[in-house]
């Protein structure tokens, strides 16, 4: 095998491993529809809604009540969430992609985190 073929195969293998790892991580996360989250709020369940969108996106509207910590800031702002460690934290973003990443990060840090699939667009 040529060197370039080994490099290409290594990159493909790395991509496959990362995809499998992400799929495995997402299986442990609860995914709720917007209607299910609305029902939880209506039933006064002790949930925390976490908006992981950018500040600019949040200016266009947000779920009330929600806490705002953009995805890129979650790793160093978890201290703001420590008081909610015993409660379910439902993450949302604009379309549902970043929020699943946020929920996985929080789960790894010991939080009870979930995802709102479809994001704010489905609200």
pLDDT tens for each residue of 2-24? 898 989 999 999 998 877 766 65
Q: What is the DSSP letter of 55?
A: H
List the alpha helices (DSSP H) in 28-122.
34-42, 55-59, 97-108
Residue 33 has pLDDT above 80, yes or no: yes
Answer whether 51's CB lies under 8 Å from 63's CB. yes
Helix-strand-coil split of the chain, %, nearest 5: 55, 15, 30
CA proximity to 51, closest of 82, 83, 90: 90
pLDDT value, residue 25: 54
Cα separation, 119 vs 66, whole angstroms? 13
pTM reported for the whole predicted model: 0.79
- The CATH architecture one would assign to domain 31-122 is 3-Layer(aba) Sandwich (3.40)
Domain ranges of the chain: 31-122
Helix (H) or strand (E) holding 71: none
């Amino acid at each position: 095998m040529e060197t370039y073929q080994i490099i290409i195969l290594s990159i493909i293998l790395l991509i496959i491993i990362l995809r499998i790892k992400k799929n495995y991580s997402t299986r442990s996360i609860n995914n709720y529809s917007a209607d299910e989250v609305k029902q939880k709020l209506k039933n006064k369940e002790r949930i925390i809604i976490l908006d992981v969108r950018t500040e600019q996106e949040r200016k266009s509207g947000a779920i009330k009540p929600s806490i705002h910590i953009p995805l890129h800031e979650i790793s160093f702002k978890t201290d703001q969430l420590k008081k909610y460690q015993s409660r379910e934290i439902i993450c949302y973003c604009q379309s549902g992609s970043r929020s699943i990443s946020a929920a996985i990060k929080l789960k790894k840090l010991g939080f009870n985190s979930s995802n709102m699939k479809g994001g704010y667009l489905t609200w």
